[in-house]
Structure formats: C-alpha cells, structure tokens
Structure 1
Amino acid sequence: MAEIVVDASVLAALAFQEERAEAARALLDGAVLYAPTLVTYELVSVARDKILRNSASGQDIREQLMEALAMDFQWVEVSYGEVLELALARRLSTYDACYLYLASSRGIPLVTFDTRLEAASRA
C-alpha cells in the first residue's frame, strides 16, 4: 500500500466536492495518508470561508468537514525549527513547508493541487 503526504488543497477538494473531487479521490484511493496536524486547521478555515460565502448550506459544509476529519490519517507533528528553515530556504509559507518537511522526512510523495508546492516538492 502506497504511503503519501496529503495537503489541504487535495483534502478540501474531496471533502467539499469541489471541481477536482474525483481527481483527489483517485490520488488518495488505497493509500496510507499522512498529514501534519496543521491540515485540520486548514480544513476548518476552508469550511468557514465556504459558509461565509454561502456557497452551500452551512449544515452541509459542517457535515462534510466532520467526515473529512474522520478519515483514516496518520497525524504527524513536525519539527517546527526545521519547518522554519525549510520555509526560508525554499521561500515557502510555513504552512506549505509543513507538508514538504513531512514528505521529505518520511521519504514519501507529497500529493497537492498547489502548483507552487508541487514544484517545491520536486526540487
């Protein structure tokens, strides 16, 4: 079974049935999922924004959020000092650096829809 680090862009697409939901499902299917605990806050933030924009029922968004957070993840704390250094070296946000750090420290692929983060993961 493949192991991958998954970021909030992929999880949000799947959780909230966004345009790339099927692509996200295909990327995650059958994989062991790793994510920094940060992803929970990012998903809550996406849910908040969706509710405030009234793009869907607030109750539906809340339920989708809870389903996403209940997925079978390996939640991992990261080394904040190393994340900071990686963010500075790669000119990434500290949020993006969390995912990149986790993937590189475990030696497994990072799955993201963020083109900048994807490029950084290949560098």
Structure 2
Amino acid sequence: MVVLDASVILKWFIEENDSEKARAILNRYIKGDFIIVVPDFLLYEVANVLKYSGAFSEKEVTEAITSLYDLEIKIISSLPDVIKTMIKLSFQKGITSYDAIYLALAMELQVPLITADVRLSHKINDIKYVKLLKDFAIPE
C-alpha cells in the first residue's frame, strides 16, 4: 500500500520528468501488485491543475477525474485524527495543509508517501514515510 500525492498522479495525464515511472506505479497497481490510497482532496487538486494547465478541456478534466474513480483507487475522506496531524505537520514543517494532508494520511496508515515534489520532499525528508518518486524503487 502507498499514498500518492497529486504531483505523482498528475504525471499519468501530463508528460513530465518521471511520468514513465509514475505510470509504472499505475501499471503495477492495475496488475494488483499493491494498493494506492489518496485523500479525497487529491481529486480537487488534480482537477484544478489540469484545468489551469490550459491543455485540457472541461470534458477532458471530467474524464480524467472519472478515470481515477474507475481505477477504484482507495479515496479516503479526511478523518479528524488525520486532520489534526495535517495541521500539526503544516506548522512544524512549514508546508501547506494541502501538502500535509498526504503525509498525515501516510503516517496514519503507516505506509510510504510517494511525491514528485522535490521542494516538499526536502522539507519533510526526515520523516521515514516520505519517498521521492525519482528515488522510489518499484518492487519487482
């Protein structure tokens, strides 16, 4: 089981550095090799980035979000304990609540958080759950 943040999942839709690696994680998930968990906030974040990228129509953004539901990724609504941890992390680490929600969920589940956000990873790299996408070894 892994938590993916929006910086990884967006690479499924937008060609960027490490998009191939992000899609390899998706392919391993589809094969049933592991479970992907995300906070429900991810849906808003992905939709917003796709919209403002200028490369996607309303229909394409809707299809992208629908595809995430179709994949049956575990989408978790934020629980009070996760929200409390999110707030604590955002203050302690100087990160946005938007970024902290992914880490709080990973900590609650005690699973890796995979992010492609290098600046974020530098701020939270002392937390054992954080894995940078470019360094993440996809299990064979």
Match of 1:24 in 2: 22
Give the counterpart letter for 1:9 in structure 2: S
Report the CA distance shift for 1:57/1:97 in structure 2 as closer, same or farther (over 3 A).
Answer: closer
Write out the 4+ residue segments of structure 1 that deviate beyond 3 Å after TM superposition. 56-62
The separation in 1 between residues aligned to 2:56 and 2:46, in whole angstroms, is 16
User: Is the partner of 1:111 in helix, strand or coil?
Assistant: strand
Identity of aligned residues (%): 28
TM-score by length of 2: 0.72
Q: Is the 8 A contact 1:110 1:121 kept in 2?
A: no
Q: Is the 8 A contact 1:44 1:65 kept in 2?
A: yes
Question: Is the aligned partner of 1:81 residue 2:78?
Answer: no
Deviates more, 1:57-66 or 1:69-78: 57-66
Q: How many residue pairs align between the two structures?
A: 117
Q: Is the 8 A contact 2:90 2:96 kept in 1?
A: yes
Q: Is the 8 A contact 2:43 2:65 kept in 1?
A: no
The separation in 2 between residues aligned to 1:92 and 1:109, in whole angstroms, is 18
User: Is the partner of 1:108 in helix, strand or coil?
Assistant: coil
TM-score by length of 1: 0.81
Q: Is the 8 A contact 1:4 1:111 kept in 2?
A: yes
Mind listing any 5+ residue stretches in structure 1 that lack a counterpart? none
Question: RMSD across aligned C-alpha pairs, in angstroms?
Answer: 1.9
Instruction: Name the structure, 1 or 2, with higher relative contact order (CA <8 Å, separation 6+).
Output: 1
